[in-house]
Amino acid sequence: MIHGLRAQRLLGALCLAIATACGSGPTEPDDTGFSPPPSNPDTIPLRQLAQQRGIRIGSAVDAGFRYTGSQGTLFRAKLAREFSMLTPENDMKHASIHPARDTYRFGPADSLVTFAEANGMQVRGHTLVWHQQLASWLTNGTWTTAETRTLLDDHIRTVVEHYKGRLVAWDVVNEPFNDNGGMRSGFWFDRLGEAYIEQAFRAANVADPQAKLFLVDYNIEGINAKSDSAYALVSRLLARGVPVHGIALQGHFQVGTVPPTLAANIARFAALGLRIHIAELDVRIQLPSTTATLQQQANDYRDVFAACLTTTACEAVVAWGLTDRESWVPSTFPGWGEPMLFTGSFDPKPAFFAIYQLLK
């Protein structure tokens, strides 16, 4: 289980402190931000280096996973070799997995979970409750408050029980806040108020008491009004005994914008007794990319991993995609792209080498 890596993290820290017992320690970065890449960077998979530092390194996939022919073979081989955690990018969202009131479509997500199990990867479930990608039968229906509560419970119970014992964590409630820190309007909040969040966590915990349950949002990576609201909400939930086990910071950054307060923000959530996952990391570049912007992207990825390594409470960093080819970024942010660790041709980018050197 992921918490078993904490002892390895502590051992790694001891190794750094006692160089005569464990080696000379990591190579110091040069003035460009990281050491030159090794001559053969694929000798040791990233997942193995991450494990030695006490964390999981993950990737969010679904569309690329279904490439056919040699592209599909290469995609899945790269995924299994380099990553120890998998998040379904879309296949577990409401509209995909629950297309009709009495119909669940588990096949696509099942294939990802089966692949992960066959390759020693843990799975993060994403996501049980969100204001987007809801099935039209739900949003177009007319429901009483009592019916809405039942619909929420039924969805969570059915999905979580289907994967009981197979997933290490669930993103239970995704993006509940506006950027100013207020509660976001949406199907669940508009009908149930803030109480929908507590209901969702309690229902998920009943369905699988072993899974770790996370609140997730974007733009809460640094200390700001939105992350203050997340901190206050989680504190209230914990005070009421609600089973919130972690906070997931998404990490969708423009190049050069990783907040300097990331490590401090991680530390304050850790002080609540929470686990921390960097759950949707990508760093987008304004196109066309240059040597300088790719270098800055590498520095940004390195800085995020370095912040996670400052505490054993930060257990995982999940990239929101495998290659630039499948990324959601170009279609959502016109003029921006190339946010991942690998090119569309599966070649490692400077960001890959930066992480490699940091972990090694």
What's residue 43's pLDDT? Answer: 80
Backbone angles phi, psi at 158, to 5 degrees: -65, -45
Is position 280 annotated as part of the catalytic site? yes
Is position 175 annotated as part of the catalytic site? yes
- In angstroms, the CA 58 to CA 328 distance is 17
Q: Which two tokens stand for residue 30?
A: 């040069």
**pLDDT digit string (tens) for 190-200?**
999 999 999 99
User: Which CATH code is given to the segment(s) 2-17+29-359?
Assistant: 3.20.20.80
Q: Which of 89, 280, 315, 326 is catalytic?
A: 280
Nearest to 319 by CA among 92, 102, 79: 79
Is pTM beyond 0.85? Reply is: yes
For the chain, domain boundaries: 2-17+29-359
Helix H or strand E segment including 347: none
DSSP states along 237-301: HHHTT----EEEE--EEETT---TTHHHHHHHHHTTT-EEEEEEEEEEEESSP-HHHHHHHHHHH
Helix (H/G/I), strand (E/B), else coil: 137: helix
Helical spans, DSSP H, in 62-174:
69-82, 94-97, 107-118, 136-139, 145-162
Q: Encode the chain (360 residues) as per-residue pLDDT tens digits.
A: 444 554 445 444 433 333 323 333 333 333 333 334 444 555 899 999 999 999 999 999 998 999 999 999 999 999 999 999 999 999 999 999 999 999 999 999 999 999 999 999 999 999 999 999 999 999 999 999 999 999 999 999 999 999 999 999 999 999 999 999 999 999 999 999 999 999 999 999 999 999 999 999 999 999 999 999 999 999 999 999 999 999 999 999 999 999 999 999 999 999 999 999 999 999 999 999 999 999 999 999 999 999 999 999 999 999 999 999 999 999 999 999 999 999 999 999 999 999 999 999
